[in-house]
Structure 1
Amino acid sequence: MPRTTFTYEGERHDISAKTEAELAAKVAIRKKELEEGTRLKKNMPFNLCANAWLERKRSYLKKEKTVKDYKKFVNHLNDHFGSKRIKKITATDCEDCLRNYADLGMSKAFVDKMTTIMNQIFKYAITSKTLLVNPMVDVKKPVAEEGTHRQLSDQEREVILAVAEYHHAGLWIETMLYCGLRPGETPTVQGRDIDIKEEILHIRGTKNNNADRYVPIPRHFIKELAGFKKAEYIFTTEHGTKLTEQSMKRWWKSFKNEMDRVIGAEIYRNKIIESKLPSLKDDPDDSSLTLYCLRHTYCTDLELKGVPINIAKELMGHASVETTAKYYTHFTKTTMLLAKQLINGDAGNQKCLSCPSLKKCGPLCHVGVNVGRPSETLKNSGTTPHS
């Protein structure tokens, strides 16, 4: 088999072909590509290119916080694309990546920022001769929710807790609802982070300096988090590995499908034909149910329990109290009752503010819904949970 080598600007090129004529043609094409600057470098993995782009950014960014923000997004992208050859990534792949974050409940601002950074990485790949065409040019950005996420409606909360009792993602869902974790903070939780005696959970968040925090575990929920070994991950896939963004997306989709089934959605060949989840919302104009609704509900629950906003800021892992204030805006009859009880000094004898008609909540009530009794939503669905 004919073969030859030549050197161009210090780089050695090795070319082989089936015939001498084919070899000569290949050499001519290679030299032309090198002279015109259209010759791509070796098949560079996406993660190496993204890291190189970040280092280039770091060289002229003045604020360390800005660098950390960029690094957070690059880590997300590296988790998604990994070592896939950058020239093999298509517009469809990019759309799937962005849709994944929208489906997980990330805000419009997050998805917009992710889109910008992806575009910059691919542009960098083109200028560094690793890519010919930017796949982001043809990308259709998915629809993401504007602004902050909403809290759960009472009906949504009740159906969620009913399904969580038997669904494989139930513990994961309840932990976010009862302890306020961001979805991205759940994969790293291990047995060593759970202090059963003190009823405290260590959340090793990385979003900002306040994200690494300790939060109380509700007493009724403590048994669910007991029994894990120190080095054991609490939430794992069916293969026993740590959760990834893709596996979290699958879990959430499976969980919502089961919620739909429980409330009587039309199903054909194990697929939801028409979702009934919107019927659980307090207002038809409310945004869709996302994972972040669990965390928003946790913060609203803190408000309903009378937790001061400065303490809620620490429990939520917010960088500023202004962020927490976006959640602490729900002045309702419930919060008015709490203020009245605090002013009158009888808060210690209060009924559950979220179940004011009850003398005492059921054992599973966090601040809220007395899930010890089936709601009309579940009773009227004509279905029962199954494992």
Structure 2
Amino acid sequence: MATTGLTRGMGSFFKECEHPESRWTRCPHEYKIRYRNAAGQQTEESGFATQEKARTRLAEVYHARKNSPQSQRKAERIQKYGGMQFSAYAAEWLKGQRHQGPASLRMLESTLKNHLLPAFGSRRMGTFDHKVVEAFIETMERNGVGLAAQTHAFVRLKTILLDAHRLGLYEDNPVDGVQPPQYDPKRAVIPSLAQLQGIRTAGDEAFNLVAELMSGCGLRNGEALAINVDNIVADDVYRVTEQVNQTTKTYAPLKHRKVGEYRDVPLPARTKQAIEHYADTYGTVEGYLLRNPKDITLPMPHHTVDNQWRRIRRSRQVHIPEGMVLYGLRHFFASNCLSRGIPITDVAEWMGHRSIEITFKTYRHLMPGSIGKAAKILDLGLAA
């Protein structure tokens, strides 16, 4: 079935028959037309005896759509925002992100300042398409930008462009078909058990406790800093209810969770003993263990642990894998779970991931031979 296009946005006419387009004017089959209605949905009409009637109907629909109040408003938005520079549009968009927390806003501003504005600050909003976005990703890769920074930059750019797309600036979604920055499993550097044992005793007792909590329970850095003995809800269960916000240096809801929401995680006996030992040695404040060394009424700030980690790495007194960051202690927890056959759905829940896809993309390489293992287990069931 061939179709004949007209002016962009006008639609097309065609015949659903075996005849080539060159014989349409002589064959007896009716013409059909296809166009997008005022709501943007593809629509077909049939019953046109001649090509001229099909064209006339398409022109009627096109002009009615162009002259509708909705189309006029869209045209006004295109005129207003199409020529606007990305920097001005992003600044206006940022004002509407009041629902974001302080840490999220800080990251948004950082991503704009360090990646998006240098690349697109003066670009007119109406000139974006998938090729522009793909070239941006390629440039970040070529310049050695870290994967996390690449991902944040792409997600923010995508969000801003989709906002503009909803205003009608683009006929087609400017990020359709664009492959986002791809995760490389080799980037998740995980310590061996022997290396972990050295790391867990390399700092002061506060650092060592954080290392125990991250590697034993899979807590994030900020969640470990908010450790509270009252959250030990069973001998083998710890309830994660809050974190220390890196920006505000105060207790805050968990990542991807609302105030009052929590998640329960496994509490190994070794980790429980480490918590109790610290509490017995240094005491607690309303159940909290880790406090600001300069003011015990405040939580321990992130930089206290981060600075120790940097000193430990520089000292070379313990063997730390090349490229490992403090977050590698949390990666160890996931590796320990998955290598022992614990379902990835459980691991995703315990780690507080927003979706299992994040867990799968990050740790799929830690489950080698899972298909072969499954085949053997299924074979046992079939032979029973």
TM (norm. structure 1) is 0.44
TM (norm. structure 2) is 0.44
Answer 1 or 2: higher relative contact order, Cα 8 Å, separation at least 6. Answer: 1
Structure number with higher helix proportion: 2
Rg larger in 1 or in 2? 2
